[in-house]
């Protein structure tokens, strides 16, 4: 049986481990130089910080995952630095690109563990050098030992906002402001539910408490106004919950509002998507074990709906067992199923504590850029609903008219915000406005490498 696993983050590692334990040797593909995923990304050779310094409270998990990764690599057909740029579910083929050469991987069954990226809301000035995603700011520090600037502001909402601000301050960067767009009362209301995950909740409180104790400026319930600067970042301004306007000088801004699935391959595989209201993301349809409506395709980890690294590890193993069950093997799944159900309940509370700020995207001024790839403004997107003879009733028509989502990132960065802007303009829900459909190649590849 030919099995392919795409991705070597927490889900991919545990999926491969489970397959190997049942004598299946998968082709294992990851786009990065090394496995570990974004959360447990290891620095390149030459950087020597230990796991405790790199991963903090998560060091034991990171170390365990790295051990499993390193143990599995020699036994699988391990292919790092390889992009899967298309999937042909009819032919059961993956199209790959590695070191400029294209290839094809045949599979009978495939587990897609494609991970997530930051969910961002555009802010005026967000294309200036010095602005990165929250995840990007964390990767700079973790994987490269660098801060994104000398005086850094963080803007957004969610657990990563506090974690990254804490990591920067600990590493010696000057954190000039932590700007949370969620009001304190919203987080407080979700606190009882968060007690379902007491360890995670306690860590979050620790980071916030540490930042407060170190006198770092924190503002909650803010509305970002602009990232300012000529040629690079020189400051950020915002409006507080009572309407007062503030500004701090800084040379870098990290921003992000939680994560969104990198589910392009699931899309190309033909898996239907549904809008998950709790996490406010479009997610590919799968059952709790990772089975999808497309025979032979299984999903696990954040690429199948945001659940975090701990869930991803369990889900990766569970998806591998689902694959084995469907191949007629006898496997024991009750413990994994119980664990997944329990972790899922905490996630719901977390999403309530950090809701996606739809109003920020919808309220952007017409002259703000929302598409980094092609320099499209919010006004140009709004005009698709009124200007053309056949106005856009949903996102893909707006894409055809305006090119929103047709740039080099293929809507990864702008898609979530574009949907909010359009929904507000049309007076419908973001679920009704639809999602940008995926197209191959899922990332740009050289013309010379195409078949």
Binding site for other proteins (CB under 8 A): 31-33, 38, 43-49, 53, 100, 117-118, 127-133, 135-137, 139-141, 144-150, 171-173, 231-233, 251-252, 262, 369, 372-375, 407-409, 412-413, 443-444, 446
Q: What is the DSSP letter of 436?
A: P
- CB closer to other proteins, 13 vs 54: 54
Q: How far is the CB of 347 from other proteins (least distance, A)?
A: 22
Nearer Cβ to other proteins (42/318): 42
First and final C-alpha spacing in the chain: 26
Instruction: Select 291 or 412, whichever has its Cβ closest to other proteins.
Output: 412
Nearer to other proteins, 46 or 243 (CB): 46
Q: Which is nearer to other proteins, 172 or 192 (CB)?
A: 172
Which of 336, 262, 305 shows the shortest CA–CA distance to 17? 336
Which CB sits closer to other proteins, 95 or 336? 95
CB of 133 to other proteins, least distance (A): 5
Q: Considering the complex, what minimum distance in angstroms separates the CB of residue 62 from other proteins? A: 16
Nearer CB in complex with other proteins: 46/328: 46
Q: Give the long-range contacts of residues 200-207, CB within 8 A, separation 24 or more.
A: 200/159, 200/346, 200/350, 203/57, 204/159, 204/162, 204/163, 207/162, 207/163, 207/165, 207/166
Cβ closest to other proteins, residue 232 vs residue 342: 232
Residue 297 beta carbon to other proteins: minimum distance, rounded to whole angstroms: 22
C-beta closer to other proteins: residue 44 or 365:
44
Q: Which is nearer to other proteins, 197 or 224 (CB)?
A: 224
Instruction: State in angstroms the smallest separation of the CB of 436 from other proteins.
Output: 14
CA–CA separation, 429 and 19 (whole Å): 41
Residue 295: CB minimum distance to other proteins, A: 29
Nearest partner of 302 among 135, 146, 424, 422, judged by Cα = 135
Q: How far is CA 126 from the centre of its chain?
A: 18
Name the nearest CA neighbour of 413 among 103, 135, 189. Answer: 135
Q: What's the min distance (Å) between Cβ of 221 and other proteins?
A: 26
Q: In angstroms, what CA-CA distances link 48 with 34, 152, 275, 294, 339?
A: 16, 25, 42, 44, 34
Shortest spacing between CB 95 and other proteins, in angstroms: 18
- For residue 115, the minimal CB distance to other proteins (Å) is 9
Residue 94 contacts residue 29 (beta carbons within 8 Å) = yes
Of 92 and 412, nearer to other proteins (C-beta) is 412
Residue 408 beta carbon to other proteins: minimum distance, rounded to whole angstroms: 4
How far is residue 181's CA from residue 358's CA, in Å, rounded to a whole number? Answer: 11
Minimum CB–partner distance for residue 357 and other proteins (Å): 19
Q: Is the dihedral of CA 399, 402, 404, 407 positive or negative?
A: positive
- Give the CA count within 13 Å in the CB-facing half-sphere of 252: 21
Query: What's the per-residue H, E or C state across 254-318?
Result: EEEECEEECCHHHHHCCCCEEEECCCCEEEECCCCCCECCCCCEEECCHHHCCCCHHHHHHHHHH
Q: In whole angstroms, what is the distance from residue 238 CA to residue 245 CA?
A: 6
Residue 304 contacts residue 297 (beta carbons within 8 Å): no
Give least dist CB 31 to other proteins, A. 6
For 348, phi then psi, to 5°, come to -60, -40
Residues 401 and 167: their CA atoms lie apart, in Å, by: 43
93-98 and 82-88 as β-strands: parallel, antiparallel, unpaired? antiparallel
Q: What is the DSSP letter of 75?
A: G
Query: Is the Cβ of residue 125 or residue 296 nearer to other proteins in the bound state?
Result: 125
């Amino acid at each position: 049986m030919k099995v392919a696993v795409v991705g070597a983050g927490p889900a991919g590692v545990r999926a491969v481990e489970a397959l190997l334990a049942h004598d299946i040797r998968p082709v294992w593909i990851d786009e990065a130089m090394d496995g570990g995923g974004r959360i447990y990304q290891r620095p390149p050779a030459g950087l020597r910080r230990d796991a405790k310094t790199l991963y903090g409270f998560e060091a034991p998990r990171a170390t365990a995952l790295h051990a499993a990764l390193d143990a599995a690599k020699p036994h699988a057909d391990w292919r790092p630095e390889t992009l899967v740029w298309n999937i042909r579910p009819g032919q059961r083929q993956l199209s790959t690109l590695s070191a400029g050469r294209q290839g094809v991987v045949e599979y009978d069954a495939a587990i897609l563990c494609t991970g997530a990226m930051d969910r961002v809301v555009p802010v005026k000035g967000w294309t200036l050098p010095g602005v990165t995603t929250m995840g990007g700011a964390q990767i700079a520090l973790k994987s490269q030992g660098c801060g994104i600037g000398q005086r850094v502001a963080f803007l957004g909402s969610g657990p990563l906002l506090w974690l990254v601000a804490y990591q920067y301050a600990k590493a010696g960067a000057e954190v000039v402001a932590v700007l949370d767009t969620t009001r304190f009362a919203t987080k407080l209301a979700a606190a009882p539910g968060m007690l379902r995950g007491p360890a995670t909740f306690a860590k979050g409180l620790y980071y916030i408490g540490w930042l407060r104790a170190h006198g770092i400026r924190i503002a909650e319930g803010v509305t970002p106004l602009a990232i300012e600067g000529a040629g690079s970042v020189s400051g950020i301004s915002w409006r507080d919950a009572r309407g007062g306007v503030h500004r701090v000088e800084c040379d870098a801004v990290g921003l992000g509002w939680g994560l969104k699935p990198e589910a392009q391959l699931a899309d190309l595989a033909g898996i239907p998507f549904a809008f998950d209201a709790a996490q406010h993301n479009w997610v590919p349809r799968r059952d709790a074990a990772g089975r999808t409506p497309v025979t032979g395709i299984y999903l696990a980890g954040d690429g199948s709906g945001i659940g975090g690294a701990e869930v991803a590890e369990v889900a990766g193993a569970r998806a591998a067992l689902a694959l084995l069950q469907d191949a007629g093997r006898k496997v024991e799944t009750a413990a994994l199923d119980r664990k997944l159900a329990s972790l899922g309940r905490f996630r719901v509370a977390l999403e309530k504590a950090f809701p996606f700020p739809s109003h920020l995207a919808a309220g952007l001024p017409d002259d703000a850029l929302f598409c980094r790839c092609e320099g499209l403004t919010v006004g140009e997107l709004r005009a698709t609903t009124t200007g053309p003879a056949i106005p856009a009733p949903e996102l893909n028509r707006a894409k055809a008219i305006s090119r929103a989502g047709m740039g080099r990132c293929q809507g990864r960065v702008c898609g979530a915000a574009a949907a909010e802007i359009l929904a507000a303009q049309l007076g419908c829900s973001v679920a009704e406005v639809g999602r940008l459909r995926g197209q191959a190649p899922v990332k740009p590849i050289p013309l010379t490498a195409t078949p």
